[in-house]
C-alpha cells in the first residue's frame, strides 16, 4: 500500500532556563519589557507530524512518502529520513526560507515561553496531491498550514484518493464548515478525545453522525487507550504499560504510524489498534518524537508479551 503523509515538517529547539521566569518579569515595567535568558541546555530535534508518523512506519518496514515544504536548513534531516527508509520525493525546498521552527524555553517550574515560526510550511498550499508521480492508496491529511489542509481535502476528494483526516492541533484554526467537509469525504477520522469534542462543537455534528460519515473513526484517550469505531462495532484498545515515561511528545503520531502499518497489511481492526498502542509506548519512553528505536523482531516479541496476534505479525518480516 502506497501511503503519503501530508503534514508539517519542523525542527524543535528546546531550551531550559535554570531559574524562574516570574522572578525576572517586572510588572511595573511591562511597556518596556526586555529580557534575555541565559539558558543552560538546548536540544534541536526533528519533528513535524508527517515525518513523525513516517518514522514509525519506517521502523516497521514501510516506505511511506512525506509531502511538505522545508527550508534550506533541511539537508541533515532529509538524509536522516532517507536512511530510515522514508520516501522524501514529496518534500520541496523553498529557497531563502527556514524549515518551520519551534523555539521553546522552559524554566524550573515548567513555565514555557515559546515561538513558532512557520517559515517554509506556509508554502504547503502550493503543493498538490495531483503532482505526485505515483497516486497514493491512502493519504493522511495531518496538521500543517490550514489553507493547505483545506486544499488537500478538496484534491483528495476530486482525485478520489482515500484519506485519513487528522486535523488535531489545527482544529482551532479551521472553520466548522471546512472541518465538516474534511470529515464528510474522509475514509477515516483520527483524533484524541478532546479534539473529538472540538470537532463536534465546531461542526455541530453528533458522534453518531460523524461515525456514519467515515469507514472508521479512531479516538485516542491518552493513558486510557483508544477506541476504534467501525460500522456498529467498537474496539477498545488498552495501552501497553511503559517501562518509564520520559516525554509524551509525538505519542499520537507514533500511534497513527503503528496503526497504519497494520492497516496497510490488511490486519484486523483490533490488531491495528494494538500495533498503534505499542508504537506509542515506545515513543513515550524516550525524549522526542523520533528518538526511540526498535527492530521489527524486538517490536514483535514485545507485542506478544501483551497481545495475541496468532502469528499474524510475522507479516512484518517480509518487508
Ligand X SMILES: Nc1ncnc2c1ncn2[C@@H]1O[C@H](COP(=O)(O)OP(=O)(O)OP(=O)(O)O)[C@@H](O)[C@H]1O
Chosen from ligand X, Mg ion, none, partner binding at 251 (C-beta under 5 to 8 Å by type):
ligand X
The C-alpha cell 534575555 sits at 36
Nearer to Mg ion, 139 or 254 (CB): 254
> Residue 10, SS3?
strand
Interacting positions 243-262 with Mg ion (CB under 5 A)? 252
Span from 54-62, 129-137, 163-171, 255-263 in contact with Mg ion (CB under 5 A): 163-171
Q: Please report how close the Cβ of residue 223 comes to ligand X at its closest, in angstroms.
A: 4
Closest to 147 (Cα-Cα) out of 162, 127, 165, 117? 127
Across the chain, the runs of DSSP E, i.e. the strands, are 3-6, 10-16, 41-47, 65-70, 87-93, 100-106, 112-117, 138-141, 163-165, 188-192, 216-220, 226-230, 233-237
Write down the least CB distance from residue 62 to ligand X, Å: 19
CB 52 → ligand X: shortest distance, Å? 8
Which residue in 62, 56, 3, 9 sits closest to 187, CA to CA?
3
Helix, strand, coil % in the chain, rounded to nearest 5: 45, 20, 35
All 3 cell numbers of residue 167? 486535523
Say whether residue 146 binds ligand X (CB under 6 A).
no
Rounded Cα distance between 207 and 200, Å, is 7
Nearest of 40, 47, 37, 36 to residue 13 by alpha carbon: 47
Pick the binder of Mg ion from 144, 168, 203, 264 (CB under 5 A). 168
170 binds Mg ion, rule: CB under 5 A: no
Can residue 255 be called a binding residue for ligand X (CB under 6 A)?
Answer: yes
Residue closer to Mg ion (CB basis): 168 or 264: 168
Which of the listed partners (Mg ion, ligand X, none) does 226 bind, with a CB threshold of 5 to 8 Å by partner kind?
ligand X
**Structure letter (DSSP) for residue 98:** P
Min CB(64)–ligand X separation in Å: 18
Judged by CB under 6 A, the residue of 57, 67, 164, 226 near ligand X is 226
Give yes or no for residue 281 binding ligand X (CB under 6 A): yes
Q: Cβ(30)–Cβ(91) under 8 Å?
A: no
Distance from C-alpha of 235 to C-alpha of 292, rounded to nearest angstrom: 27
Taking contact as CB under 6 A, which single stretch among the options 28-36, 95-103, 152-160, 244-252 is the one that binds ligand X?
A: 244-252
Active-site residue 253, yes or no?
Answer: yes
Residues binding ligand X (CB under 6 A) = 192, 220-223, 225-226, 239, 242, 245, 248, 250-253, 255, 277, 280-281, 284
Using CB under 5 A as the criterion, which residues of the chain lie in contact with Mg ion when the complex forms? Answer: 168, 252
Annotated active-site positions, please? Answer: 253
Amino acid at each position: 500500500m502506497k501511503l503519503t503523509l501530508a503534514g508539517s515538517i519542523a525542527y524543535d529547539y528546546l531550551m531550559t532556563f535554570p531559574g524562574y521566569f516570574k522572578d525576572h518579569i517586572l510588572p511595573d515595567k511591562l511597556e518596556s519589557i526586555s529580557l534575555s535568558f541565559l539558558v543552560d541546555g538546548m536540544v534541536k530535534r526533528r519533528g513535524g507530524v508527517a515525518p513523525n508518523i513516517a518514522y514509525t512506519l519506517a521502523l516497521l518496514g514501510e516506505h511511506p512518502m512525506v509531502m511538505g515544504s522545508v527550508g534550506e536548513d533541511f539537508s541533515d534531516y532529509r538524509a536522516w529520513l532517507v536512511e530510515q527508509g522514508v520516501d522524501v520525493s514529496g518534500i520541496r525546498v523553498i529557497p531563502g526560507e527556514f524549515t518551520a521552527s519551534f523555539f521553546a524555553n522552559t524554566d524550573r517550574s515548567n513555565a514555557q515561553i515559546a515561538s513558532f515560526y512557520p517559515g517554509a510550511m506556509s508554502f504547503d498550499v502550493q503543493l498538490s496531491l495531483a503532482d505526485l508521480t505515483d497516486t497514493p492508496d491512502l493519504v493522511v491529511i495531518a496538521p500543517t498550514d490550514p489553507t493547505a489542509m483545506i486544499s488537500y481535502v478538496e484534491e483528495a476528494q476530486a482525485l478520489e484518493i482515500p484519506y485519513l483526516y487528522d486535523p488535531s492541533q489545527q482544529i482551532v484554526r479551521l472553520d466548522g464548515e471546512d472541518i465538516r467537509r474534511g470529515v464528510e469525504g474522509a475514509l477515516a477520522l483520527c483524533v484524541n478525545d478532546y479534539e473529538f469534542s472540538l470537532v463536534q462543537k465546531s461542526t455541530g455534528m453528533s458522534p453518531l453522525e460523524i461515525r456514519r460519515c467515515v469507514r472508521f473513526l479512531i479516538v485516542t484517550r491518552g493513558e486510557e487507550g483508544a477506541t476504534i469505531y467501525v460500522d456498529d462495532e467498537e474496539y477498545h484498545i488498552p495501552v501497553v504499560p511503559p517501562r518509564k515515561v520520559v516525554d509524551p511528545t509525538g505519542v499520537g503520531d507514533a500511534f497513527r504510524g503503528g496503526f497504519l502499518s497494520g492497516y496497510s497489511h490488511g490486519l484486523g481492526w483490533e490488531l491495528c489498534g494494538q500495533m498503534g498502542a505499542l508504537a506509542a509506548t515506545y515513543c513515550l519512553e524516550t525524549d522526542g518524537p523520533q528518538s526511540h528505536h526498535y527492530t521489527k523482531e524486538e517490536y514483535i516479541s514485545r507485542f506478544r508479551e501483551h497481545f495475541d496476534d496468532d502469528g499474524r505479525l510475522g507479516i512484518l518480516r517480509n518487508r
